[in-house]
Amino acid sequence: MIKIHLSRLLGDRRMTQSELAVKTGIRKATINEMYHELVERVNLDYLSRICEVLDCEIVDILEYMPNNDNKRRHNKVSGLSSH
């Protein structure tokens, strides 16, 4: 699973979604979907704009979190125990 930490970043910077939308030129609805982690795809240009405005790195916005179901499936295939 990929976590989007836009809500935390905006909170840390005391910036609203609307302010970010204006400063990046990204639609408010798109910012809101990212903020609430409702997006399935992320536009790389948008990530670049957000990083520039928030003065952060991509790793500050996106985080990979292994899914436990995927770990169990991998362990079964490789012959490892999930316990």
Give the predicted TM-score (pTM) of the model: 0.79
Give per-residue pLDDT as tens, 8-26: 999 999 999 999 999 999 9
3-class DSSP assignment, residue 4: strand
Give per-residue pLDDT as tens, 24-45: 999 999 999 999 999 999 999 9
In a domain, 83, yes or no: no
Query: Is residue 64's pLDDT more than 70?
Result: yes
Helices 17-24/28-35 angle, 10° precision: 130
In a domain, 53, yes or no: yes
**What CATH number has the domain bearing residue 22?**
1.10.260.40
Range of 14's domain?
Answer: 2-78
3-class DSSP assignment, residue 13: coil
Total domains in the chain come to 1
3-class DSSP assignment, residue 5: coil
Query: Is residue 82's pLDDT more than 50?
Result: no
Give per-residue pLDDT as tens, 66-80: 987 655 555 555 555
